[in-house]
Amino acid sequence: MLVDSHVNLHSERYDEDRDAVIRAAREAGVAYMLTISDKLSSTPAIKAIADSHDFIWRSIGVHPHYADEYPALTARELTGLAGDEKVIGIGECGLDFYYEHSDRAQQFPVFQAHIDAARETGLPLIIHTRDADEDMRKLLVDEHAKGVFTPLLHCYTGGPALAEAVLALGGYISFSGIITFKNAADICAIAETAPLDRILIETDCPYLAPAPMRGRRNEPAYVTHVAEKLAQIKSVSQETIAAATTENFFRLFARAKPSDTDE
């Protein structure tokens, strides 16, 4: 039994076969999924998907790519939207200094609203960070000192210093199909040393298909390849990875409850 902790099932790339994609994931052993918010305007579509399946949960948040579209975003707005029991995390949110689809200066207050909402609700903070390691590290450490929240570095591609800082704060790191790429030695080294009880796996589908499926649209079913590679990296069995990452998911996203038939 596996959990794909980060999927984007509302993507238009699934409009023709979304139900079939979800069925294929379940047939591949992916028992649960967390479908992620990219912007608040996507909420109705994301909510409809999560509400239609008892094994899919959702988050609420604004990706840094869209920070410019939400200059007045507040923690109160996010906490209000997070009241639904199907909402188990705040985000995806953070800092992206690689693409800079939104102005850097605008990304900070939008991210701050998410931090405040995570602190207030007690829900995990699902973080996107790219080419912003030091700014992210300092911000998380400083904010954590003001009041506890639990950070999750999703689809991690940063360096060891940020990873170590988040782990020291009691946070988690999620690894995607990137660890199967030939040029991912640095990320694999972080995965090797990360504690087994602090890691999750994901596809970030429809993006970043793992090596056996490169060039294709990514799907939740392909998280099996991430689990296989992570098992190789950590020199443990795939069963060990499946058990650990599933347990970690439900510990971190405590609002989510496994169904009786799958426990």
Q: How far apart are CA 102 and CA 69, in angstroms?
A: 8
Mean pLDDT of the chain: 97
54 contacts: CB under 8 Å, gap ≥ 6: 259
Is it the case that residue 261 has pLDDT exceeding 60?
A: no
The 10s digit of each residue's pLDDT in 182-232 is 999 999 999 999 999 999 999 999 999 999 999 999 999 999 999 999 999
Secondary element (H or E) of residue 151: strand 151-153
The 10s digit of each residue's pLDDT in 51-99 is 999 999 999 999 999 999 999 999 999 999 999 999 999 999 999 999 8
CA distances from 166 to 120, 254, 257 (A): 19, 19, 25
The 10s digit of each residue's pLDDT in 97-128 is 998 899 999 999 999 999 999 999 999 999 99
Q: Are 36 and 7 in contact (CB under 8 A)?
A: yes
2-252 adopts what CATH topology? TIM Barrel (3.20.20)
pLDDT at 259: 79
47 contacts: CB under 8 Å, gap ≥ 6: 58, 84, 86
Q: Cα–chain-centroid distance for residue 212?
A: 22
230 contacts: CB under 8 Å, gap ≥ 6: 175, 179, 191, 199, 201, 241, 245
Secondary element (H or E) of residue 230: helix 223-234
- Predicted structure pTM score: 0.97
The 10s digit of each residue's pLDDT in 22-47 is 999 999 999 999 999 999 999 999 99
Residue 263 pLDDT grade (very low, low, confident, very high; cuts 50, 70, 90): very low
- One-letter amino acid at 44 equals P
For the chain, the domains span: 2-252
In DSSP notation, 58-107 reads EEE---GGGGGG-TT--HHHHHHHTTSTTEEEEEEEEEETTT-SS-HHHH
189 contacts: CB under 8 Å, gap ≥ 6: 160
Is it the case that residue 139 has pLDDT exceeding 80?
A: yes
